[in-house]
Structure formats: structure tokens, C-alpha cells
Structure 1
Amino acid sequence: MSRSATLPGPSGAAVPAQSPASRRQREALLAAQLYYLQDLTMDAIARELRTSRSTVSRLLAFARETGLVQIQIADPLESSAELESAVAQRYGVRTHVVPHVSNLNEAETLDRVSMYAARTLTPLVTSNAVVGVAWGSTLTAMSRYLNRKPTHGTTVVQLNGAANTQTMGLGYASEIMRRFGAAYDAAVEEFPVPAFFDRAETKRLMWQERSVRRVLDLQADMSVAVFGVGSVHADVPSHVYTGSYLDSADLRSLGEQRVVGDVATVFYREDGSSEGIALNERSTGPDHEVVRAVEHRFCVAAGPSKARGLRGALNAGLVTELVVDEATARALLALGA
């Protein structure tokens, strides 16, 4: 980014030379011209004006405060507002672009985006709402920054199971759910089933159990769904791809079926399609039809390596509100419609 200052020229209207205010204005104007237009340091200006560096600093502050200097930040690339507009226009979603700092790594960027997302979510959570929450690296980070907002009659429901062959996953998912529940004074409904069943038939039978149906019915009543975008190629890998949830055959199958990402462990391709993806028959995440029926589908994505996965989620119509960093927004737009 480059900084520019707009300054009045020496031919501006004069005020009486004997006026103390006039002298201060002229000194401030001269200091500003030397600093902004001639790139002199404050030490060099102090020597030229035969005064102290602290006086120069006060003159420059006075010039800004009184309007002698107007600072403008010129972004050589798209501004955040322009990126928000471009993403919103292409995909029809409300978009929040978090300003990007180039020296941050993807983990640090995720932390910044998660903080922004936590604050942006707050107005969407109201009393008597059902809020669906997926587990994952993004939601773990986001849950640490949730703003406290007391509500009444609100329920937070887990969107997908977390158990696998190594662990029941309860501690990991429960901590996310606990934080969401505490932030909104909400009841918490966990989903104590595997992330993926070994057989699709087992899922079909379990989905008929009344205890499971109760959670599924809550999910069907969601007014808000909160989730990240899973991607095996992300620089900060999604937990589902690193936590013993998928074996080598599963990963090979996803590659063969051109899968680019998942929302709550339900997978899709870059064009948004999910038909014929075998692993979805065993997944305990909500079907895309269930997600698309939710009024507020709040997606958080950080890191350009997630751009293809994010594009697939957008093409699938799974998102209505998006929080994303600048670099990821640019990478998304560069992929084309």
C-alpha cells in the first residue's frame, strides 16, 4: 500500500502574519510539505526549522487534525470492499473480507479470520434459535473468540459425529460445543456417533433410532449453521483428514471422485456436485439439502489453499454468509465462476 497526502499549495489564502494561529498554521503546513511531499525525515525537518523533533511531530499532528493534511491509503490491488462486492456478486452471498497482512502464515491468518468471524456471527444468534455447529480446525479457533450474548431457549446442536477407530472424539467436539453453549447461554446437544460408519447400512439403521432422530430433527430446525471448509490440500489440514477418520482407501476414493472439500464431513466436487461420492453414504454430517434449507449458513475459510474447497461449497449453495481473508478471496476469484 502507498500513502499519499493532499496539501494546499503556497498560494492558499493568507491570514495576518502577526496572528499566532497563522504562524502555527504556516509552520505546520511547511513541516507537512517537507515530510509528505519531499520525504524528509522528522530529524531533517527539525534541523531545517531550527526546532526539536518533538515539535515537528506536534506540527504534523496539528496539520492532520486541522485538515491541512488529508491522508489517503491507496491499495494497488482490490480493496477489501471491492473484493467483498466481487465475491458477493459472483456467488450471491453476504461476504466479509478480513484485511490481509502479508507476513502472516496460514495458521496466523486463520486466527485473525476466526476472531473476525466470531464477532460477525453474534448478531445472527437470537433467542429460541437452533444453531448447528460443525467441528474442525476452523471452528476450534473460532470458538475461542466468541462474544458473550445471553439468549433464552436457544440450542446448539452438533452437526456431525466425531468418533473414529482411535477415539470417541468427544473431548475434541465437546469443547467446541461447550464454548458455543457458554457464549449464548444455550442448551447443548451433542451427537455421539462416529464421523463415518463402516457400512452405509449401519447408518440407515441408526438413523431410525429415536435418540438419533431427536438430534436429526433439531438439525432440521436450524436457523443458523456454522462451519468451516474441509480440504485435504490446506496448509492447515482439516482435522478430518489428519485425525484417523479416513484410511488410505478412503483418501484414494475421494481423489478418484474429484472431491475438493467437505462441509461437516459431507463431500463435494468443485462444481458443487456430490452425487456418487461413496463416502457420503457413510457420513454422519447433514445432507446438503438439509444445509441449504437453513436461513443463515455461516462459512469461515482462511488460507488460499482452501480456495478450491470453498468454491465447491459456494457452487453447492451451502453458504449465505462468508468470512474469508483477502488472499483467499483473491484466490477464489482467480479460479473463475
Structure 2
Amino acid sequence: MTDVEHARLLVDVSRDYYLDNESKVDIAARHGISRFQVARLLAEARESGVVRIEISPPAHLDSDRARRLADRLGAREVVVVGSGGSTAATRESVARTLARVVGEHVREGATLGVSWSRTIELAVRHLAPLPACDVVQLVGALPVDGSGDSLDMIQAFRRMPGVRTWPVWSPLLVSDPGTAAGMRRQPEIAAALDRADGLDLAVVAVGAWTATGSTVFPQVTGDERRAATAAGTVAECSGRLFDAEGRRVVTPLDARVVGVTFDQLVRTPEVVTAGYGREAAPGLRAAVAGGIATTVVCDDAAASALEDLLDAATA
């Protein structure tokens, strides 16, 4: 067999096997050789470069992509999961991964702050028992149709052996600043919010300042929404508003919130935040820029939107 004939056989055998999914036995019969010769030819084709195999993991499994995104954002870590076929499926996927990430970060004796969102509520259901630690509720309750609230969630931690809880027995939003101030002075609530000064880790969610992106947005008045938007608000975290650069936005709404302050979150050494969908990207970027978040758990759609935002900023 000449060199040209051998090269042609390499190509034909490789095409039959890799592109047409034929078995080695069938390939051997067609070419009048043994299946062991077929195996040797396939190995030679890979070694010589006739066949080049490229493995391209899905975007949400591309760890290099997540590392590059973390570097560009200035985050310690970014974890990307697949976007589901529906909002509920995506939320479930993000929640499961958020539970894993939080579980990996909590150490015995730590003080963990937990905000509330529908994603965090789901994540707590998937959370493995934590080592002995303190869990501080960071915001009051915000009941939302189809889910529980932060008071239900804190009870899940209370049932874990060795875990002490510090609840906030209040709504997240109350009717007026005076009532909110009075709630914050209640001994149990004050104790919990004071504990937020010494958090080792917090888990929060970032909501875009839109009707669909935030559970807080629909709960406030039209005047409060317009005032927040006019002041540059792009997102909220635990009821605290911030702009595209992660700077705190103060509006009259701020005084009605019973929960962790913007500055307490910024002072927390490690803050894991979650978000999904393209709409979440500006808020996630701003949360990292402002020091509100150090680790981001998001879906592929949010990650792609973050990459687009970063590309636009450097164009």
C-alpha cells in the first residue's frame, strides 16, 4: 500500500467511525481489514492530526469562562449554572448551586447572615445541615404569593443541631419611618441587626429595580419607585437601593426598611449573591463594584449579559 493509499484509508476509516458512527466491525468488513487494524488506524489518525477531537463543555460548565468573568468583574468567584426552560426551572437550578456554595463557605463558629428572596428560600431547602454556627436573619418578612417568607426560612436553620438563630420579627417594609425605627429598637430585632455588624458570611439576592426583577418594587408606592429611579437606582439588595456603580441610593423608602443596612453588607468579608436572567446583570455587576457582593451565583443568561456589559464598557 502506497503512502497516498494509506493516507486515504486513514481518512475513510476516520470518517466512517467519527462522522457516520459506524462500528469498527462494519468498517473492517467494508475495507477488508481486521477490527484491530481499524483501532490502530484510528489511533494513528488522532496522533498524526488527521483527526482532532475538541471537547466544548456547555457554557455553564466552562470553569475557565467563570474564572475570566470573575476576574473582569473583580469578584472572588463566579459560579454559572444552566438556564432552565422556565423561570421556575432556572430559579431551582440557581438555588441548588447556591445551597452548595453557601455550604462550602460556612465554618464552625461562623456568623452567617441570610437575607430573603424566592431563590434563597429554595436554596435553604436544599442546604445540608450546617456546622454549629449563628444564623442571623437580615431582613424582616416579605410575603410573596407562591412562596413562604423569611420567618419560615429562619425556622429551617433553627432545626439544625448546633445552629443558633437571630430572627427579625417584623415585616421588611413598614408603613412609615417612625414605625420602622420603633421596630428596629425592639430588643430581639435590635439584637439581630446588631449581630449583622459581625458577619463572617452573608447570602443575599440582587433584584433589578423593575416590577419583574424585584420582590420589593411591587410593594412600594409609585412616588417611591419614581424617586428611586430618578436617583439612579438599578437594583436592590435586602431592600437597600444602589446605582450602576454600586453606590448607595438613599430615598424615603430607605427609612421604612427593617433589615440589614447597606454599610453592614459592604463590611461583611464574604457575601454570596444570586441572580438569574439578563435583567439581573446590571445589578450583579453593580453589587460587585460597590463591595456588596464577593461571590456571584448566576445562570448562563445572566453571565452572558454580564459579559456583554463588560465588553461595552471597554469598547
Report the TM range for the smaller structure's normalisation. 0.7 to 0.9
Distance 1:76 1:275, change over 3 A: closer
Q: Does the residue aligned with 2:216 lie in a helix, a strand or coil?
A: helix
CA distances 1:33-59 after superposition (whole Å, capped 9, x unpaired) = 5222xx21337x7655449xxxx9xx9
CA distance in 2, matches of 1:78, 1:190: 35
CA drift of 1:276 comes to 3.2
Correspondence for 1:114 among 80, 95, 98: 95
Higher fraction of helix: 2
Contact 1:133 1:225 (8 Å CA) reproduced: yes
CA distance in 1, matches of 2:290, 2:227: 20
CA distance in 2, matches of 1:257, 1:313: 17
Correspondence for 2:138 among 159, 173, 194: 159
Residue number in structure 1 paired with 2:110: 129
CA distances 1:253-311 after superposition (whole Å, capped 9, x unpaired) = 33333322111111111121224322112212211211111121111112111112212
Correspondence for 2:276 among 286, 299, 302: 302
1:188 maps onto 2:165 in alignment: yes
CA RMSD of aligned residues (A): 3.7
Distance 1:191 1:105, change over 3 A: same
Unaligned regions of 5+ residues in structure 2, if any?
A: none
Overall identity of the aligned pairs, in % = 23
Corresponding letter in the other structure for 1:174 = L
Contact 2:142 2:171 (8 Å CA) reproduced: yes
Correspondence for 1:41 among 11, 17, 21: 21
Correspondence for 1:239 among 202, 212, 215: 215
The within-5 A match list for 1:72-91 is 72-74=54-56, 80-91=62-73
Residue number in structure 1 paired with 2:256: 282
Q: Which runs of 4+ in 1 moved over 6 A?
A: 67-70, 75-79
Corresponding letter in the other structure for 1:137 = R
TM-score for the superposition, normalised by structure 1: 0.73
Distance 1:182 1:96, change over 3 A: farther
CA drift of 1:329 comes to 1.6
CA distances 1:203-261 after superposition (whole Å, capped 9, x unpaired) = 334433433321112221211110111224375x433345xx32333333333333221
Unaligned regions of 5+ residues in structure 1, if any?
A: 1-8, 12-25
Give the length in aligned residue pairs.
294
Contact 2:94 2:297 (8 Å CA) reproduced: yes
Q: Does the residue aligned with 1:126 lie in a helix, a strand or coil?
A: coil
Contact 2:106 2:201 (8 Å CA) reproduced: yes
Q: Does the residue aligned with 1:311 lie in a helix, a strand or coil?
A: helix
Residue number in structure 2 paired with 1:14: none
Contact 2:115 2:205 (8 Å CA) reproduced: yes
Q: Does the residue aligned with 1:131 lie in a helix, a strand or coil?
A: strand
Contact 1:113 1:302 (8 Å CA) reproduced: yes
Contact 2:206 2:275 (8 Å CA) reproduced: yes
Corresponding letter in the other structure for 1:272 = G
Residue number in structure 1 paired with 2:192: 215
Distance 1:99 1:290, change over 3 A: closer
Residue number in structure 2 paired with 1:315: 289
Corresponding letter in the other structure for 1:161 = G
Contact 1:80 1:326 (8 Å CA) reproduced: no
Q: Does the residue aligned with 2:121 lie in a helix, a strand or coil?
A: helix
